Amino acid sequence: MFVKVCGLRAMSDVDAAVAAGADAVGFVFAPSPRRVDAATARDLGGRVPEGVLTVGVFRDQPLAEVLSLVEASGVRAVQFHGDEPRSFYEALPDHVLIRAVGEVVELGEYGEDMLLLDAPTPGGGVAWQWTAPERAGRWLLAGGLDPENVVAAIGATRPWGVDVSSGVEVRRGVKSPELITRFVQAAKSA
């Protein structure tokens, strides 16, 4: 089970995610209470071992801004959370690409490496009618997951991976190392 913890802003949270066995850590560059600048993402990403993916999260930002933040932060993966066209994906041939969608689409349509099936409001902490795509593949379930419900959610949809943000926070934008640890361990045990 691939586990991504998103919206990290503090070293203690990155360390907790890595220690618990997370496969990816996300830094939000889109407008959000969780937004970080490129220098912060670079510092946080520098704490992460080679095998853990650092992901920059964007939503409907201009391509020039995306490319500049990706370069300055050094993230190895990019997650598009808006209506970014295919050309945005084509502009990043050397990065792992995650396409966030609100409904099931064919994996790889835009050249993405993974799909992320999410609630309509990203990072909103609201569970939706979790549904699995008909075809298996590299897709992540997201939206309202937390340490208490992630095992059942995985059992119901059998995703390739899961992604969490609000469910490991004590308040919006403030993560809890303890909740991060519990979430990653629960997802890995499912």
Residues lying near ligand LARABZUK in the complex (CB under 6 A): 6-7, 26, 28, 30, 32, 34, 57, 59, 81, 118-119, 122-125, 142-145, 163-167
Shortest distance in whole angstroms from residue 125 CB to ligand LARABZUK = 4
Shortest distance in whole angstroms from residue 81 CB to ligand LARABZUK = 4
Q: Which residue has the tokens 């890595």?
A: 18
Distance CA(154)–CA(99), nearest Å, equals 20
Task: Give SS3 for 41.
Answer: helix
Cβ distance to ligand LARABZUK smaller for residue 31 or 85: 31
Q: Strand ranges (DSSP E) for the chain?
A: 2-5, 24-28, 53-58, 77-80, 96-101, 114-117, 139-142, 161-164, 169-171, 174-175
Cβ distance to ligand LARABZUK smaller for residue 82 or 85: 82
Cβ distance to ligand LARABZUK smaller for residue 92 or 164: 164
Q: How far is CA 3 from CA 15, 141, 180, in A?
A: 15, 10, 11
Shortest distance in whole angstroms from residue 99 CB to ligand LARABZUK = 12
Cβ distance to ligand LARABZUK smaller for residue 39 or 126: 126
Shortest distance in whole angstroms from residue 131 CB to ligand LARABZUK = 15
Distance CA(102)–CA(142), nearest Å, equals 10
6 is catalytic: yes
Q: Please check whether residue 126 is in contact with residue 102, taking contact to mean a CB–CB distance below 8 angstroms.
A: no
Q: Please check whether residue 142 is in contact with residue 116, taking contact to mean a CB–CB distance below 8 angstroms.
A: yes
Catalytic residue among 23, 118, 146, 163: 118
Catalytic residues: 6, 118
